[in-house]
Structures are given as C-alpha cells and as structure tokens.
Amino acid sequence: MSGELRHLISINDLTNEEIEKVFEAANRYLSELGDPNAPHRIAKSTRIGTGSILATLFYEPSTRTRLSFESAMLRLGGRTISSADPATSSAAKGESLADTARVVSNYADAIVIRHPRDGAAKLVAEYASVPVINGGDGAHEHPTQTLCDLFTLQREKGAFKGLNVVISGDLKGSRTIHSFVYALARFGAHIMLMPGGKGMELPAHVDWRLRHEFHSLPVPREKYEKENADIDVLYATADQPHQPTLLSASDFKEIDIFYMTRFQKERYADGAKSDYMKVDSEFLKGSKYKTASVMHPLPRVGELDADLDGTPRAAYFRQASYGVPIRMALIAAVLELDAQASLEKFASGFRAKAHPIHSQPRELGIACPNTNCITHDPQDGGYAGNKFTVIANDGLRLRCYYCETDVRTDIAGNVRSKTYAHSDPANLHDVVFFANEADAQKAGFKPGAHNHAAAE
C-alpha cells in the first residue's frame, strides 16, 4: 500500500470527487452483480477481495452497518472476523481500544469500528496499522451511512444541487445527521431542519461548521415560512456570498427528500421522550411533499409509520440495501482491490482550510468540553492526547482532535514564562490554552504580556 493509511473517520475525509468515485464503483457493482428482479440488491460475488480480511469491532448494537460491511466483504470474495459483543471481547477485561487496535491490525487488513464514545474511531486510527473505517462513534459521525444516504438521494433524484432536503428528528444525538448535513452542504443542497422535539436542535459546533467551513448560510425566515412554517433553520449553500438572501419562497416550495431519524435514547441521561414527532402518510399529504422521497437510516422505533412502506416514495429499505454496494466500493477503494475504484487523493480529504494541530499536556490547560468524548473515558482516555485543531476565525476556536467539538477561548499561557494573556498566538510553541483566567491562575500562571508574538 502506498503513502499514508486511508482511514475514513469523518465524511470530510473524502473529497466530493472521491465520493463520486465510490458511487461510480457502487453503481458498477449493482449493474454487474445486481439482482435482475431487485435493482438495489447485490446478488452475486466477485473474487477481487480473495485473501483479504476485514475486522468488524462493534461496541454498540448494530444490524445494518455490521452485516452490510460483512456481506460487502464476502461479496468481494474476502473474509471477515467480528467482535460484535463487548461483553465477550477483552474490553470486558479492561483492555483499551488502543491495544485492541494494535492487536487486530495484525489479524485483518482493515478495521470497522463502532463505539458509544465520540472520537473513538479517531483514537483507533491513531494506533492501528491498517485502514480504519468509522461505523459510528457516539453522536459524532457515521460517514458510511452518509455515503448510503447520498447514494440513495442520487439514485432517487439524480442530482444534489438545489434539492430541498428536510432533516428531521433528533438532530442533536443522531450521528448520521451530522455527517449527512456536511455532505449536503458540500454538494449544494438546501438543508431544512425540523427538530423532532425540544432540545434536539443541531449542536452549535455543527451549525458553526456549516456556516463557516461549508459555505451554508441560513436563509431569512420570511423567505420560506409561508410554505414551511415548521422548519426551524434553513441553510442554502451559496455559490456567491449573498445568494441565500436572493433565494425566494418559490425555491423552497417543494420538498425533495424527507429524512427522518429516531430519538437516540442511549445518548441522553433521562432516556425518555414523550413528545417526539411522528411521520405517517397523513403528515406527508401536503402538496409540498407531493414528490418527496422518505428516507430513514433505520432502525425506526415508532416515529415513521408502517403505512408508508408500500408507497414508491418510501426509500428507506432501498437505502439500507445500498449499504452492500456502497461498502463494497469503499472496502475496494481502501484496500486497493479495484483499479477503477482507487482513490488517488483519498489521503487529503475535504478540507476547507488547513489548520494547525496543537497538543498540550493532559494535566494542564483546557480539555475537550464534550463529556462523552473518548478523551474522558476512564479506560481509553489515557491513550488519547489533549489535542486540538486550532481555528482562528473571529477569535480562537479549539476543535477536539477526536470528537471535533469546539471550545472558544482566548486565554493562552506560556509554559516558560508561566504567564497568560488574552491572545491569539501565531506561534503555538510553548503555548497552553486555558478555558478562563481562573483556571490559568489555579495552574500557577500569572497575568502578563506574552513573550510570543500575537497574531496580526
């Protein structure tokens, strides 16, 4: 294998061209190996993966993701090894993810990991010596589900640009939504948010990234509320800076996709929600939904009525079946099994802008603010660094290297002079960031002028 390992932790690890390449290969597998009676289903196998082994490490329940990855590997002619129950793996004895990653790298050619902690897949990628694919990490991301979602959208609607996509349900806890909205923004769809209940809005850091990194801007409410009073926020991805304000009500009259998700009860301390929205054929009767396809990553647990199942607009079972050709294409790309599916630029990924990564001592300075981040795990946290991507944009923003949650701060200390100041240091050498002045003082730092240059 050439160059850097090709991990897929975030959907933003792939460029748009690379995503299109995965889709080309998936379409090819569907036409060459598909079931003539069911165009979304793979029915035959190839031998291009003969001799390769895929490990699936699942620390959280799964039906579709694990089984479709395993089916995909078998359809490619490869083999799989699986640890699907943390209670029967060495995790139950207290083994760290880092050690598991190092060990399993010697048993398989690629690893798929699902874990309840945000950032766990990134940690595994740090320690593995084979490619790592994120099968869902806490509430962070689920990039391979997004590949299935986008592929479904393309097969249902033909193109992405200017599509009106309603994203509904648990916008806070659904990792599928976080990966999906980044991709929708990158492909120029209009994103219409409909939270399923109170407190289920998109996390602030995801909203920030949509606006500042993916050129999505909220459309003023008066432009859409006549047709879409139930939409909380509507982002349009601008080709030009003022475009969202130029769009008019008629641009949002018809919904192309209605994407529903379940309440992610396992991500909330109280675990119960009585007021969660419900979608059925009555709900989708309105004229704006006339041609809308209904999508859902599944499982559904009552929020999407079975009365929709028989209608051609119900795309969710096709969406689930695309998991096989999509994951075949992805495995083939990552393991370089298929010359036509190779991703030359895979290592770079989609990056609006390159930002420096800053590492600071675990016992000093600010830590990731997300309590579900892998960095806070009693068993695994010690293997993760206290690392942040430093984003200077209207003040400083530190993005956790693992779970990508942001924290704003402007308190930068210097470990040599033991002083701190409100500053935006251009040179990160000897710098340690604190959440506030009180924390800096508690750590023995004194207010003072910096002896490193402040950014212009």
Task: Say how far residue 329 (Cα) sits from the centre of its chain.
Answer: 19
The residue sitting closest to ligand NCD, measured at its beta carbon, is 297
Closest approach, Cβ 119 to ligand NCD, in A, equals 15
**Residue with smaller CB distance to ligand NCD, 118 or 338:** 118
**Residue with smaller CB distance to ligand NCD, 138 or 425:** 138
- Annotated active-site residue in 7, 21, 75, 114: 114
**Residue with smaller CB distance to ligand NCD, 238 or 298:** 298
Closest approach, Cβ 405 to ligand NCD, in A, equals 18
Closest approach, Cβ 337 to ligand NCD, in A, equals 24
Q: Tell me which residue has tokens 């047709």.
A: 227
3-state DSSP helix/strand/coil % of the chain, to nearest 5: 30, 20, 45
Give the CA distances from residue 247 to residues 160, 222, 225, 230, 365, in Å, rounded to whole numbers and listed in that order: 17, 11, 13, 19, 45
Is 242 annotated in the active site?
no
- Annotated active-site residue in 6, 40, 64, 209: 64
Half-sphere exposure (CA, 13 Å, Cβ side) for 86?
A: 17
Q: Rounded to the nearest 5 degrees, what angle is found at the Cα of 144, between the Cα atoms of 333 and 102?
A: 70
Ramachandran bin of 376, using left for φ above 0, alpha for ψ from -120 to 50, beta for the remaining angles: alpha
**Residue 120 dihedral angles phi and psi, to the nearest 5°:** -65, -35
User: Which of 136, 130, 64 lies closest to 100 in space, CA to CA?
Assistant: 130
Is 176 annotated in the active site?
no
Record the tokens describing residue 276, joined without a space. Answer: 């969660």
Closest approach, Cβ 68 to ligand NCD, in A, equals 9
**Residue with smaller CB distance to ligand NCD, 176 or 293:** 176
Interacting residue ranges for ligand NCD, rule: CB under 6 A: 64-65, 136, 142, 145, 175-176, 261-262, 297-298
Give the CA distances from residue 200 to residues 167, 171, 182, 277, in Å, rounded to whole numbers and listed in that order: 12, 5, 18, 11
Closest approach, Cβ 318 to ligand NCD, in A, equals 14
Closest approach, Cβ 125 to ligand NCD, in A, equals 19
- Annotated active-site residue in 117, 122, 142, 155: 142
Give the CA distances from residue 238 to residues 130, 247, 343, in Å, rounded to whole numbers and listed in that order: 38, 10, 28
**Residue with smaller CB distance to ligand NCD, 216 or 261:** 261
**Residue with smaller CB distance to ligand NCD, 49 or 297:** 297
What amino acid occupies position 273?
Answer: K
Closest approach, Cβ 178 to ligand NCD, in A, equals 10
Is 40 annotated in the active site?
no
Q: Which residues, at least 6 apart from 436, have a Cβ–Cβ distance to it below 8 Å?
A: 409, 411
**In whole angstroms, what is the distance from residue 228 CA to residue 22 CA?**
34
Is 93 annotated in the active site?
yes
Closest approach, Cβ 346 to ligand NCD, in A, equals 22
Is 223 annotated in the active site?
no
**Residue with smaller CB distance to ligand NCD, 195 or 297:** 297
Record the tokens describing residue 303, joined without a space. Answer: 């929020």
Q: What is the DSSP letter of 15?
A: -
Question: Per residue in 140-160, is it b (16+ CB within 10 Å) or e — as a string?
Answer: bbbbbbbbbbbbbbbbbbeeb
- Annotated active-site residue in 56, 65, 144, 261: 65
**Residue with smaller CB distance to ligand NCD, 314 or 367:** 314
**In whole angstroms, what is the distance from residue 394 CA to residue 30 CA?**
47
Question: Which residues are marked as active site?
Answer: 64-65, 93, 114, 142
